[in-house]
Amino acid sequence: MEWTDRGIVLSARKHGEGSAVVSALTAEHGRHAGLVRGAKRAGGTYEPGNLIALRWRARLEEHLGNYSAELTHSFAAAILDDPLRLSALIAACALADAALAERETHARIFESLAALLALLESGSDGEWRAAIVRFEIDLLRDLGFGLDLSRCAVSGTPDDLAYVSPKTGRAVSRKAGAPYCTKLLTLPAFLVAEAKTASLEETIDGLRLTGYFLDRHVFAPHGHALPAARARLIDRIETNATLAPVSKAQ
């Protein structure tokens, strides 16, 4: 068995002397693991977030198999001096690694993650913040738990949407949700307006929204918690929001 594909490195776990088991999100073969012999000699090829050209080989399809790869682009290398962007890269890769079943095709998630990585490298702060929330929304949708943010679940209106029901994942207007606002999740304005940028506060609200449903539908049913890297990202964003006197999408 053998195939080639584009891949984004999600994680690399040491295996024996000098080797590693690498998990990558591929364009056509989903999240897929493979053994890399002599991984130490490959330098930084298998760092999370790297875009690689992969070759996988195994005697039987169900075997772990062996990876060989060439580095196509290192997104992390460009943001090593930006702890917040680097934290977002690590969190997104960790989330995809933990949430996606192995060897199930998720072409949309591959493209969504690749777009996020590109914005982390060269987009504005507001752009990558909006993109990471949308990446998690795409992840929920691809896993069968899509949110309906198009119109109010109570009145049917598409206007003045401000909340999301934690029970149904559907949007609720400000008027309809007012009596129950303490029990509802905040719907960030940038998602309603389909804006390309998000403020720090909107990003926090967006990640709390997606995190609630990821925990409820994807992780908790299997007795797992959201990746620690994601919690660290939210802590960093909240710290930045506290330090910033005025938070604007940039």
Residue 107 pLDDT exceeds 80: yes
Neighbouring C-beta atoms of residue 29, cutoff 10 Å? 21
Predicted confidence band of residue 245 (pLDDT cuts 50, 70, 90): low
Place of tokens 């129950």: 180
- End-to-end Cα spacing for the chain: 48
The whole-number average pLDDT for the span 206-235 is 98
Partners of 148 in beta bridges: 170
Predicted confidence band of residue 38 (pLDDT cuts 50, 70, 90): confident
Task: Quote the CA–CA distance of 32 and 101 in Å, as a whole number.
Answer: 9
- Residue 118 C-alpha from the chain's centroid: 13
Assess contact for 163 and 187: CB atoms under 8 A.
yes
- What percent of the chain is predicted at pLDDT more than 70? 97
Going from the C-alpha of 107 to that of each of 7, 84, 161, the distances in angstroms are 11, 27, 30
Average pLDDT, the chain: 94
Domain 2-74, what architecture?
Beta Barrel (2.40)
Question: How high is the pLDDT of residue 248?
Answer: 45
The H or E element containing residue 51 is strand 50-57
Pick the more confident residue, 18 or 226. 226
The whole-number average pLDDT for the span 182-200 is 97
Question: How high is the pLDDT of residue 247?
Answer: 43
The whole-number average pLDDT for the span 59-82 is 94
Q: Mind listing the pLDDT tens digit for each residue in 110-161?
A: 999 999 999 999 999 999 999 999 999 999 999 999 999 999 999 999 999 9
Residue 74 pLDDT exceeds 50: yes
Question: How high is the pLDDT of residue 161?
Answer: 98
Residue 42 pLDDT exceeds 80: no
Domain residue spans of the chain: 2-74, 81-149+187-243
This prediction has a pTM of: 0.94
DSSP 36: E
Question: How high is the pLDDT of residue 243?
Answer: 78
Residue 250 pLDDT exceeds 90: no
